[in-house]
């Protein structure tokens, strides 16, 4: 079950795009963007509890949601890594 912010029952773990059940490209793009915006509002508290050598975001996948999330992370000046499986 996902929250309206696409957050799972694991705190700070978000799912966007097809994995969340919405396969439309527009929805995936919007969900990715919205997830980053949610993380950006929480980032100060999250950074305080993590090490200096961590990323703000780990983005898994380079579909529409992953690309949108990566671009929004740049806009919000968050550190991130995007990975894709083969």
Query: What average pLDDT does this structure show over 32-49?
Result: 88
pTM across the whole model:
0.85
pLDDT of res. 66: 95
Question: Tell me: the pLDDT tens digits for 11-30?
Answer: 999 999 888 777 799 999 99
Across 3-75, the runs of DSSP E, i.e. the strands, are 57-60
Q: How far is CA 22 from CA 65, 67, 74, in A?
A: 11, 16, 24
Question: Tell me: the pLDDT tens digits for 46-66?
Answer: 777 776 788 999 999 999 999
Residue with structure tokens 């740049």?
74
Q: How far is CA 2 from CA 11, 43, 76, 79, 85, in A?
A: 11, 20, 23, 24, 24
pLDDT of res. 84: 93
């Amino acid at each position: 079950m996902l929250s309206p912010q696409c957050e799972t029952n694991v705190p700070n773990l978000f799912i966007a795009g097809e994995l969340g059940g919405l396969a439309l490209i527009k929805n995936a793009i919007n969900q990715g963007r919205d997830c980053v915006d949610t993380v950006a509002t929480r980032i100060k508290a999250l950074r305080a509890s993590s090490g200096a050598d961590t990323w703000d975001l780990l983005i898994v996948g380079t579909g529409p949601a992953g690309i949108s999330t990566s671009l929004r992370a740049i806009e919000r000046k968050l550190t991130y890594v995007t990975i894709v499986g083969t």
